[in-house]
C-alpha cells in the first residue's frame, strides 16, 4: 500500500504551466484521453476480457479451485462434456427452456401488442401493468411463485381443484418442474416482447393501411397483407433477443428448483454455476462457459445484423 506516500510539494521555481504547454504540444490530447477513458478501459480489460482468456486457459486444466497447481489436461474437459450423458441432458434442457420461453413470450407478446394497439380505454394502464413484472427481482418473484405452485393451496392448481382433478406437485416432479419454470418465466417476460412489438407496430407507415383500404381490403386482409409482413423484422429481432435472454436465465431456476429434481431444470448457465461453485470443478465449468460464450456470440452477431436492418427499416 504505497497509496499514502506523500508527494513532494511543488518545488518553487518549477514552471508547471510551461510543462503543461510543452506536453500539450508534444502529446496532444493523449494525456487527457488516458485520464478520461483509461479507468473504464482498464476495468474492461480486467473484468471482461481477461476472464474470457482465463476461462479458455482454465478449460484446459483440471482444478478444484484450491490446489496450488492446475494440471494441464488438454481438451479432456471438452471431451468429457461431449461424452457425458449429464451434459447432453443439460443441453437438451437449455433448448427446451429456450423453445418454451421464447415461443410463449413471443406469441403472447405479439397478441398483447396487437390487442393494446387498438384504441381501447385504459390501454395505457394495461400496458403499464403487463410490463411491470419485467422490472421485478427474479429471486423475489420466484419465492412467491413457490407458493402459487403449491399443489394443494397454490393459485395455479386452483382451476384443477375446482374441477376435482389432482394437481401435479409442479416443482418436485421431474416431468412438471421444467413446465413450471417456463410458466413463471413467461409470466415475467411477456411484457418485454409486447413492448418491442408495440414499437414495431407503431413503425408501420399509415399509408400502407390506406392503400390496402383503397384496394378494398377489410380488417382481416389488411392484417394479413400489411401488419404481419411488416412485423417480420421485429419478429426476427424479438426471437433472437429472447433466445439470448433465455440462455442467461438464472434466478428463477436457482430459487424455484435449484436445477432439480435430478437435473430436470439444469440449463447451461446453471450447470456452469453448479460445476464451478458447488462441485468445485473449475476446468469443466470453464469449458462449459466457453460453450455458452460461443453460442451467445453467434446469436449476438446475428442480432447485430438484424438490429442494423431493423434500424434502416425504420428510418
Region 131-190 residues binding another protein, contact defined as CB under 8 A: 131-141, 143-148, 152-153, 155, 158, 161, 187, 190
Whole-number minimum distance, CB 230 to another protein, in Å?
19
Tell me whether residue 153 or residue 211 sits nearer to another protein (CB atom): 153
Tell me whether residue 107 or residue 211 sits nearer to another protein (CB atom): 107
Question: Does 241 sit near another protein (CB under 8 A)?
Answer: yes
Helices (H), 248-281: 251-256, 268-277
Query: Exposed, middle or buried by CB within 10 Å (0-12, 13-18, 19+), for 157?
Result: buried
Q: Which of 297, 305, 313, 314 binds another protein (CB under 8 A)?
A: 297
Q: Tally the residues of the chain.
A: 315
In this structure, are residues 266 and 274 in contact, taking their beta carbons and an 8 Å threshold?
A: yes
Question: Does 248 sit near another protein (CB under 8 A)?
Answer: yes
Tell me whether residue 226 or residue 256 sits nearer to another protein (CB atom): 256
3-state secondary structure 22-65: HHHHHHCCHHHHHHHHHHHHHHHHHHHHHHHHHHHHHCCECCCC
Binding-site size for another protein (CB under 8 A) equals 90
Whole-number minimum distance, CB 202 to another protein, in Å?
12
Region 45-104 residues binding another protein, contact defined as CB under 8 A: 46-52, 54-55, 58, 65
Whole-number minimum distance, CB 248 to another protein, in Å?
6
Which sign does the torsion angle of CA 250, 256, 262, 265 carry? Answer: negative
Site string for another protein, 14-43 (x = CB under 8 A): --------------xxx-xx--xx-xxx-x
Tell me whether residue 212 or residue 254 sits nearer to another protein (CB atom): 254
Distances (CA, A) of 227 to 77, 113, 241: 49, 12, 21
Question: Does 280 sit near another protein (CB under 8 A)?
Answer: no
Grid coordinates given for 236:
426476427
Assign 187 to helix, strand or coil: helix
Amino acid at each position: 500500500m504505497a497509496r499514502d506516500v506523500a508527494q513532494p510539494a511543488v518545488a518553487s521555481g518549477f514552471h508547471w504551466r510551461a510543462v503543461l504547454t510543452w506536453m500539450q504540444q508534444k502529446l496532444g490530447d493523449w494525456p487527457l484521453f488516458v485520464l478520461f477513458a483509461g479507468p473504464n478501459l482498464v476495468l474492461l480489460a480486467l473484468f471482461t476480457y481477461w476472464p474470457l482468456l482465463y476461462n479458455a486457459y482454465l478449460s484446459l486444466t483440471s482444478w478444484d479451485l484450491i490446489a496450488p497447481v492446475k494440471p494441464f489436461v488438454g481438451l479432456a474437459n471438452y471431451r468429457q462434456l461431449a461424452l457425458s450423458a449429464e451434459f447432453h441432458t443439460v443441453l437438451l434442457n437449455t433448448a427446451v427452456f429456450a423453445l418454451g420461453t421464447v415461443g410463449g413470450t413471443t406469441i403472447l407478446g405479439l397478441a398483447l401488442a396487437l390487442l393494446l394497439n387498438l384504441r381501447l380505454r385504459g390501454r395505457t394502464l394495461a400496458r403499464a401493468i403487463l410490463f411491470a413484472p419485467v422490472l421485478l427481482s427474479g429471486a423475489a418473484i420466484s419465492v412467491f411463485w413457490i407458493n402459487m405452485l403449491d399443489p394443494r393451496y397454490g393459485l395455479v392448481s386452483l382451476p384443477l381443484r375446482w374441477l376435482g382433478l389432482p394437481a401435479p406437485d409442479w416443482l418436485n416432479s421431474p416431468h412438471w418442474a421444467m413446465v413450471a419454470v417456463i410458466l413463471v418465466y413467461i409470466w415475467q417476460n411477456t411484457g418485454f416482447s409486447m413492448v418491442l412489438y408495440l414499437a414495431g407496430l407503431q413503425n408501420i407507415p399509415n399509408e400502407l393501411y390506406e392503400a390496402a383500404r383503397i384496394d378494398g381490403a377489410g380488417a382481416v386482409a389488411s392484417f394479413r397483407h400489411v401488419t404481419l409482413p411488416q412485423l417480420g423484422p421485429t419478429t426476427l429481432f424479438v426471437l433472437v433477443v429472447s433466445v439470448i435472454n433465455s440462455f442467461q436465465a438464472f434466478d428463477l431456476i436457482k430459487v424455484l428448483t435449484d436445477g432439480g429434481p435430478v437435473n430436470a431444470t439444469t440449463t447451461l448457465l446453471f450447470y456452469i454455476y453448479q460445476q464451478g461453485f458447488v462441485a468445485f470443478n473449475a476446468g469443466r465449468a470453464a469449458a462449459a462457459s466457453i460453450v455458452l460464450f460461443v453460442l451467445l456470440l453467434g446469436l449476438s452477431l446475428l442480432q447485430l445484423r438484424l438490429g442494423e436492418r431493423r434500424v434502416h427499416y425504420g428510418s
